[in-house]
Amino acid sequence: MQLLLIVLVIAGGMGLSVEAGLLGPLGGEVGDLWATFSIFGVGAALTFLLMLFFSPRNSPSFFAQPGWQLLGGVLGPIYVVILTVATPTIGVAMTMIGILAGQVFKSLIIDHFGLLGTPQRKTDGKRLIALLFIVVALVLVARG
């Protein structure tokens, strides 16, 4: 099961690269914010259909959840605007490696302290070396 999940997250990462490649030109044609809106509009419609047919009917109320758990709804559009603006200028590879560096850095902090309701996983030397390799990749791609 864990291997399947790893394959799925790798595929998801590949999808983000495609999304970045699509957003840059779309933002150039219709504007960065309209491109962001279109991505979230299509995503919201698709998610609504999936919820309509596959979501359990007796799940807890969305509105009963703590407000901080909805922060992803704010962070998502900011992330997509950054993709839309940055990708045409610095390229898909540089954008994705930069995004990855930020994700891994913050993920190590979240794991180490068990933040946001996640299980605590201490940051060790191997994890820090992995982050260092990502930073090295960022530097190498920037100089390429």
- What's the pLDDT tens digit per position in 45-89? 999 999 999 988 888 887 888 888 888 888 999 999 999 999 999
- pLDDT score for 61: 81
What CA–CA distance (Å, rounded) separates 71 from 9?
Answer: 21
pTM score of the predicted model: 0.83
pLDDT tens profile 92-120: 999 999 999 999 999 999 999 999 989 99
What CA–CA distance (Å, rounded) separates 109 from 137?
Answer: 21
b/e map of 45-76 (b: 16 or more CB within 10 Å)?
eeeeeeeeeeeeeeeeeeeeeeeeeeeeeeee
Find the Cα–Cα–Cα–Cα dihedral 78, 92, 13, 27, rounded to 10°.
40
What CA–CA distance (Å, rounded) separates 16 from 39?
Answer: 12
State the helix-helix crossing angle for 72-90 and 32-54, rounded to 10 degrees.
130
- pLDDT score for 30: 96
Cβ atoms of 43 and 16 within 8 Å: the answer is no
Name the nearest CA neighbour of 108 among 77, 83, 129. 129
What CA–CA distance (Å, rounded) separates 60 from 31?
Answer: 38
- pLDDT score for 113: 97
